[in-house]
Amino acid sequence: MCDETRTYVSFIKLLDNYAIRSLDPEFPLGEEEHEQLDFLSLILSTKPIQLARNYINEELGETLSEQQFRLKLQRIWFELYTNYYKGKSTHFASGFEHVFVGEGKYNIRSGDKRETLGTISGYHSWVKFYLDEQNQRVNFLGYKYDLRGNQGPNNPNVVTLQMTQNVTDMGGNVIAKLFKKKGGFFVGPSPECEIALATVASA
């Protein structure tokens, strides 16, 4: 298996390690932490991550060794923190969860309560969207081009869209339906490329 394929496989293993409901606590298990470390080990030797480290060291004045850079990646992407935004706090947040998995804000359905839509924040992964669509967990509601600029899909490498996402319990029953009014993601870059870009942007 080539390195690029291995990073996709390792990345996909991480996608089910998070409680989608933002109010639910996260307690990473030993196996999940092992998956995080495996992913970091795999991507450290890839060209995008090496370029990111070189840029941070040469252009931003850092002097990060490979081990120090690994710790930086682990802190940025997998360390849990509390996110304060618009007077509200979200506990048990992580960079990886927000960017690649998404966080749901919703009330769990009970009995014959009237259906209400929750919301999705984050969720900027074309790989996750592809997998969710294949497994009928998301519904693409169309392109969303109400931003200033050229009209229509002139850039096939970026998608701006509306979508709904079904949250199911262990029995496959839908317990919540989430709506994203406007979301987006790059299409095509490898997980290590997206990690590298965002790490440089946050450095």
Q: pLDDT tens across 87-105, in order?
A: 776 667 899 999 999 988 8
Rounded to whole angstroms, the Cα distance separating 174 from 167 reads 6
Q: Which of 13, 72, 105, 124 is catalytic?
A: 124
91 a catalytic residue:
no
Q: Which domain holds residue 87?
A: 3-202
- The greatest distance separating any two alpha carbons of the chain, rounded to the nearest whole angstrom, comes to 60
98 a catalytic residue:
yes
Percent of the chain with pLDDT over 70: 79
Rounded to whole angstroms, the Cα distance separating 127 from 101 reads 10
3 — pLDDT class (breaks 50, 70, 90): low
Amino acid residing at 174: V
Q: pLDDT tens across 161-196, in order?
A: 899 998 887 787 888 889 999 899 999 999 999 999
152 — pLDDT class (breaks 50, 70, 90): low
- Mean pLDDT is lowest, of 27-36, 129-138, 147-156, for 147-156
- Tokens 């070189």 found at: 54
The structure's pTM equals 0.85
34 a catalytic residue:
no
Reduce the DSSP state of residue 75 to 3 states and report it: helix
Query: Which structure tokens are listed for 116?
Result: 């209400």
State the pLDDT at residue 142. 82
State the pLDDT at residue 112. 52
Residue 176 has a CB neighbour count (10 Å cut-off) of 21
Residue scoring higher pLDDT (73 or 108):
73
Q: Which residues pair with 83 in a beta bridge?
A: 90
Summarize the confidence of residues 34-55 as an average pLDDT: 96
Percent of the chain with pLDDT over 90: 51
Q: Which of 98, 128, 177, 181 is catalytic?
A: 98
- Tokens 């480290």 found at: 53
State the pLDDT at residue 76. 95
The domain tally of the chain equals 1
Q: Name residues whose C-beta falls within 8 Å of residue 104's C-beta, 6 or more positions apart in sequence.
A: 20, 21, 22, 118, 119, 120, 165, 167, 176, 178
